[in-house]
Amino acid sequence: MDEGPLMVFDHYLTMQLWSPEFASPTTTIDKKMVWIRFPGLNLYFYDESILLALATRVGSPIKANENTLDFTRGRVARVCIEVDLNKPVIGKVWMKGHWYKVEYEGLHHICSNCGCYGHLIRECKIQKPMKENF
């Protein structure tokens, strides 16, 4: 896990310590290590301390991608974070007068209504209030 989370066929492989109380049908995964991207981020911010500080607005930072730090891939900054799957994901962050988009690699079921992982809008149980047209 030193290189970041493992992916198999574009899905994260999640491992956790076994416990005697483990019951497969009822076990839930509440936290997951994922790669996030900040597309369009100015190269000036491609510093490990800046990237990790920016990532704290999204989750708990684990590490910055080596290719990002070496400027090998300058189009997108990547950071590995631990994200709480019970909370809505963060879609953008504010820094130095600009909004920067946050992209999640491998999280395929994010609801566009409530922002939570694990379902799509058609299965969402949260109702947004209707906007009135005047």
**Tell me: the pLDDT tens digits for 35-71?**
999 998 888 888 999 999 999 999 999 999 888 888 7
Q: Is residue 130 part of a domain?
A: no
Mean pLDDT is lowest, of 19-23, 58-62, 87-91, for: 19-23
Q: Which stretches within 26-93 are classed as H helix?
A: 48-55, 66-69
Q: Is residue 38 part of a domain?
A: yes
Inter-CA distances, 25 with 3, 22, 54, 73, 92, Å: 30, 9, 36, 41, 34
pLDDT surpassing 80 at residue 102: yes
- Through-space distance between the first and last CA atoms of the chain, rounded to whole angstroms: 54
Q: Is residue 112 part of a domain?
A: yes
Structural domain boundaries enclosing 113: 6-123
Residue 19: alpha-carbon gap to chain centroid: 27
Q: Is the dihedral of CA 59, 60, 66, 68 positive or negative?
A: positive
Q: Is residue 134 part of a domain?
A: no
pTM across the whole model: 0.73
Tokens in use for 98? 């600009």
pLDDT surpassing 60 at residue 130: no
Mean pLDDT is lowest, of 10-14, 74-78, 81-85, for: 10-14
CB-CB contact of 83 with 58 (8 Å):
yes
- Beta-strand pair 11-13/31-39: unpaired
Total domains in the chain come to 1
In the block, tokens 């090998």 appear at 72
Exposed/middle/buried for residue 8 (C-beta within 10 Å: 0-12, 13-18, 19+): exposed
